[in-house]
Amino acid sequence: MKIARTFTIDYHLYQELRKKPNQSRIVERSIRRYLSESQAFTTTDIPTEALLELVQGRKDCPPAIAALIWHLRTSS
């Protein structure tokens, strides 16, 4: 059974959400994830290799750091 509820959210979130199809499903999934402590997301859930790739790809990553990451990724 479904129930309609009214809640307040930031205007920016509203603007982003209104562009998405099936908004109710997005909100429901988000609330379920929030309420489920076993699925709490932390940065430790992201593999180190993925973090290194993201940092290396950033425009504000210093060249020395990018070179070090490149070296670490190619030497393994």
pLDDT tens, position by position, for the chain (76 residues)? 888 889 899 999 999 999 999 999 999 988 888 888 766 677 887 888 899 999 999 999 999 999 999 998 888 6
CA distance 54 to 41: 18
Q: Calculate ∠ Cα 23-26-27, nearest 5°.
A: 90
pTM assigned to the model: 0.46
